[in-house]
Structure 1
Amino acid sequence: MEVIKFLLALTCLLLVYSEAVPFCDKKELVVGGNETSWTIPLSNNSFNEWANTIDEFVQGDTLTFRFDNKTDSVLEVSGLDYEACETSRPIKEYRDGNTTIELECCGHFYFISGAPGHCEKGQKLDIFVNPDLVCYWRTRPLGYPH
């Protein structure tokens, strides 16, 4: 009988907890919002303006960069190298033309173009994954109320 009471209490606790914890849908985002948008932008800050249209970046979201891999690349860099448009010390370099990067942890992610002069013309992106937002990826159907 005690085992049944314990299991019932545990089930109730899990049900209450599952409603109190925010559930998030992982987002799969194409940087810039269209098919071949990782190019020199029309305005100097347009990639960050695009990022500001996203409600919140959470751990597990993915960013897809689509670009001409014969003339360009994506470099993940430090904050200092982002500000200076420094391409010589990338954390990671992507050259395939269709790069998908998962935001695996919280904090800032900085991306710049690897093509000469492109970063200085605004081809760069600063993403912030909120460490205060703890999300558990949705495992129930999207229509389920939460």
Structure 2
Amino acid sequence: MSSKIYILFNLFFALHLVAVHSVKFHVGGDAGWAVPSSKNDQLYNDWASKNRFKINDTLYFEYTKDSVLGVTEEEYEKCRSTHPMFFSNNGNSTYTLDHPGLYYFMSGVAGHCERGLKMIIKVLEPESPPQVANSTTASAAYEFAAATSTPTILMLFMSFSWAVFM
């Protein structure tokens, strides 16, 4: 019985490690996505540098009479894009950061990018999972949990719970 509890504990610990938390960032804070004052043309890059972005976080752009474009670095530097990778102009746009690296955003309205309505987001590499010292069972449980979907893991967890307590 104690070995079942040990396995159950290790499985629960492994499930806890693979939990993913994402954050929804309101771009620009209360000001939203709007042309900054002439004194602060780095407003959005300053805002981005104060946040830590991870894979699966989302950016929420709130604006009026404008648009958001996801562009290449070259297009960002030129403040011009004919084929953006992302485009939205509905006033409430959401963009999911799906890989590590740099993302470039700008306004699609003529003159707004040049006035500072642009931003670079850096998404961090995922952290390596912590190592479990001297525990083959915990290591195997972690590797299994990392490679398995959440619903499958939950079903497995319930099966182990039933086996231990029934």
Q: Which has the larger radius of gyration?
A: 2
TM-score range, shorter chain: 0.7 to 0.9
| 1:45 maps onto 2:25 in alignment | no
Note the residue ranges of structure 1 that are not aligned, 5 or more in a row. 137-146
- Relative distance call for 1:50 and 1:84 in structure 2 (3 A) is same
What's the CA shift string for 1:33-82, capped at 9, x where partnerless?
Answer: 01x5211112111101111221x21111111111113xx11000011111
Q: What secondary structure is seen at the aligned counterpart in 1 of 2:44?
A: helix
- Is the 1:77–1:112 Cα contact (8 Å) retained in structure 2? yes
Residue equivalent to 1:102:
96
TM-score by length of 1: 0.74
TM-score by length of 2: 0.66
- Is the 1:58–1:130 Cα contact (8 Å) retained in structure 2? yes
Report the structure, 1 or 2, having the larger strand content. 1
- Is the 2:55–2:126 Cα contact (8 Å) retained in structure 1? no
Aligned with 1:124 (options 118, 132, 141): 118
- Is the 1:74–1:111 Cα contact (8 Å) retained in structure 2? yes
Number of equivalences: 128
Aligned with 2:55 (options 59, 66, 85): 59
| Identity value in percent | 32
- Relative distance call for 1:23 and 1:134 in structure 2 (3 A) is farther
